[in-house]
Amino acid sequence: MTSLGESTTVRKALFPALALFGAAALGLMALRDTMTPRLDAKPAIAEEVEAEAELPVISSHQIRTASLRKEADGHYWAAARVNKIPIKFLVDTGASLVALSRRDARRLGINTDNLQRNAEVRTAAGRVMAATTVIDEITIDGVTVKNVSAVIMEDGLETSLLGMSFLNRLEGWDVTTNAIIIHE
Residues 66 and 26 in one domain: no
* pLDDT the model gives residue 128: 87
Among 44-48, 76-80, 118-122, the least confident range: 44-48
CATH code of the domain covering residue 104: 2.40.70.10
* pLDDT the model gives residue 38: 40
CA distances from 56 to 18, 47, 50, 65 (A): 58, 17, 13, 20
How far apart are alpha carbons 163 and 152 in whole angstroms?
13
How far apart are alpha carbons 29 and 23 in whole angstroms?
10
* pLDDT the model gives residue 184: 87
Choosing from 33, 55, 77, the residue where a domain stops is: 55
Query: pLDDT for 71-119, tens place per residue?
Result: 999 999 999 999 999 999 999 999 999 999 999 999 999 998 888 888 8
Residues 85 and 137 in one domain: yes
Residues 134 and 172 in one domain: yes
How many Cβ atoms from other residues are within 10 Å of residue 1's Cβ? 3
Q: Which domain holds residue 128?
A: 61-183
Structural domains counted in the chain: 2
Residues 16 and 101 in one domain: no
Residues 117 and 157 in one domain: yes
* pLDDT the model gives residue 2: 52
CA distances from 97 to 81, 123, 130, 184 (A): 17, 12, 11, 18
* pLDDT the model gives residue 121: 87
Residues 68 and 152 in one domain: yes
- Mean pLDDT for the stretch of residues 46-52: 44
* pLDDT the model gives residue 63: 75
How far apart are alpha carbons 127 and 155 in whole angstroms?
11
pTM value is 0.65
Residues 6+ apart with CB under 8 A from 51: none
* DSSP conformation letters of 90-142: EE-TT-SSEEEEHHHHHHTT--GGG----EEEEETTEEEEEEEEEEEEEEETT
Choosing from 9, 28, 55, the residue where a domain stops is: 55
**pLDDT surpasses 50 at 25:** no
Exposed e or buried b per residue across 110-130, where buried means at least 16 C-beta atoms within 10 angstroms of its C-beta = beeeebeeeeebeeeeeebeb
Residues 39 and 66 in one domain: no
* pLDDT the model gives residue 122: 85
* pLDDT the model gives residue 120: 87
* pLDDT the model gives residue 1: 52
Residues 36 and 106 in one domain: no
Residues 27 and 78 in one domain: no
Residues 74 and 140 in one domain: yes
